[in-house]
Copies of this chain bind each other. A is one copy, B any other.
Amino acid sequence: MTFDSKQQATVTLAEVAQAAGVGESTVSRVLRNHGSFSRKTRDRVMAAVEQLGYVPNRIAGTLASAGSRLVAFAIPSLSNIVFPDVLRGASGVLEANQHQAVFAVTDYDPGREEALVAAMLAWRPAAVMLAGLEHTEGTRKMLRASGCRIAEVLDLDGTPVDLAVGFSNSAAGRASAEFLLKRGYRRIGYVGHDLERDTRAGKRFSGFTETLQAAGCALVDRQINAGPSSAESGRLGLEHLLARSPDLDAVYFSNDDMAIGGYFHCLARGISIPSQLAIFGYNGLDIGRVTPQPLSTIRTPRVMSGQVAAELIVANAPPQVVDLGFELVEGATV
C-alpha cells in the first residue's frame, strides 16, 4: 500500500528572482553571501525568499558547482559506542562548517564496506571517513580514484590512504601488558570477542601477547567468544575462562564492555578485585569510572579522533598522520 504525498510545487530560485524582480544570479549571490549586491537588493530578495518559503536545492547547487559538502562515514557498528563517539566528534565540526554527514554501517565486514563505500561515492562526497586501515584492495582503489579526501580513524598501525587520525592499537596492547607485568601479575588470561572482524582488537591482542611472551610470561589462557563485544559476553567469557584456569591472577579484556561484564561476574561470585583477580579493559568508557572500584583501562580519544579528522577535512589539510595517543587509567581493578 503506497501513499501519494501531494507533490509540493517546489519553489525554485527562478521564482524567487521573478518575485523579487532581480536576476537569478543575484538571488544566488545574496543567498550564498558571495559577490556583491546592494543592501536594498538583498532585502528584496530575502523578502521574496521569506514570502515564498524558498528552500535552496543543494542537489542542484552541488551539481552546478562541483565540490559537494557531504562527508560520508562507513562505520563498523552503531552498537559499540566507540563509533557514535567518532561521529559525535566529527558532526560538531561538520555542522559548524555547513557540511552534511551521511553514513552507512558495515557491520565489520570488509566486503560490505566496499559496497557501501561505492554507494556513498556516488554522492560525490567531499570526504569519506573509515574506521581503521584495513580495507579490501577494491575499497582502497575506489577511494584513491575518487579524488575526494579520505580519513581513516582509530588506528595507526599500517599505511593510510590519505589522512589518518587516532592512535596505535598494538601500542595500547603492549602498554596494557607492561602495566600488568609491572604490577607483578604473572598468570594472565584474556577474554575477547570476534578478533577476525574487529581487527583493531586483534592488533591489541597481538601487542599484548607479544609483550607477555617477551617478558617470559606467556598468556596462560584465552576465551574468545563469537559475536560482538558486550557486557554479557564478557561476563560469560570470564566465567568460562576461570572454569578452565581458576588460578589466573589477572585478565585482559578486549574492551571495557567486556571488562564490565567480567567485573559483574566477580561481584556476583564474590571474587575480590584485585586481590584475587585483576581486571583490565580498553576504551575508558564513562561507566568504568562509576563502578564501586574504577575500572583500570586505557582511555582512547574517540570523540577527538572524529573531531580532528573533520577539522583536517574542512580545512583541506595535506595528507598526514595524527597520533592522538591514549591514556592508561590506573583505576582500582588492578
B53:A59 contact, CB within 8 angstroms: no
> Does any Cβ of B come within 8 Å of A104's Cβ?
yes
Which of A92, A103, A230, A260 has the most CB atoms of chain B within a 10 A radius of its CB? Answer: A103
Q: How far is the CA of A62 from the CA of B57 in the complex (A)?
A: 11
A119:B100 contact, CB within 8 angstroms: yes
Within 8 A of B (CB), among A1-59: 1-3, 5-8, 10, 53, 55-59
Within 8 A of B (CB), among A102-143: 102-105, 116, 118-124, 142
Q: How close is A132's CB to chain B, nearest CB, in angstroms?
A: 19
B91:A103 contact, CB within 8 angstroms: yes
Q: Which B residues are in CB contact (< 8 Å) with A102?
A: 70, 100-103
A124:B287 contact, CB within 8 angstroms: no
Contact among B1, B55, B57 for A118, CB-based, below 8 A? B55
A2:B124 contact, CB within 8 angstroms: no
Oligomer copy total: 2
> Does any Cβ of B come within 8 Å of A268's Cβ?
yes
A1:B317 contact, CB within 8 angstroms: yes
Q: How far is the CA of A102 from the CA of B235 in the complex (A)?
A: 36
A290:B122 contact, CB within 8 angstroms: no
Q: How large is the interface on A (under 10, 10 to 19, 20 to 34, 35 or more residues)?
A: 35 or more
Q: How close is A300's CB to chain B, nearest CB, in angstroms?
A: 16
B105:A88 contact, CB within 8 angstroms: yes
B290:A232 contact, CB within 8 angstroms: yes
Question: Given that A6-B147, A84-B78, A91-B103 are contacting pairs, would A291 and B317 also be in contact in the complex, using a CB cutoff of 8 Å?
Answer: no
Contact among B8, B121, B287 for A260, CB-based, below 8 A? B287
Within 8 A of B (CB), among A289-322: 289-292, 315-319
B261:A121 contact, CB within 8 angstroms: no
> Does any Cβ of B come within 8 Å of A148's Cβ?
yes
For A3, the closest partner residue in chain B by CB is B318
Q: How close is A86's CB to chain B, nearest CB, in angstroms?
A: 9
B122:A55 contact, CB within 8 angstroms: yes
Q: How far is the CA of A290 from the CA of B17 in the complex (A)?
A: 62
Q: How close is A291's CB to chain B, nearest CB, in angstroms?
A: 6
Contact among B147, B231, B286 for A5, CB-based, below 8 A? B147
Question: Given that A103-B103, A264-B290 are contacting pairs, would A57 and B124 also be in contact in the complex, using a CB cutoff of 8 Å?
Answer: yes
Q: Which B residues are in CB contact (< 8 Å) with A79?
A: 84-85, 88
For A104, the closest partner residue in chain B by CB is B95
Contact code string A69-98 (vs B, CB < 8 Å = 1, else 0): 010000000110100110110011001001
Q: How far is the CA of A147 from the CA of B123 in the complex (A)?
A: 22
Within 8 A of B (CB), among A167-190: none
Q: Which B residues are in CB contact (< 8 Å) with A291?
A: 264
For A103, the closest partner residue in chain B by CB is B101
| Interchain residue pairs with CB less than 8 A apart (5) | A2-B317, A59-B62, A78-B85, A81-B84, A232-B286
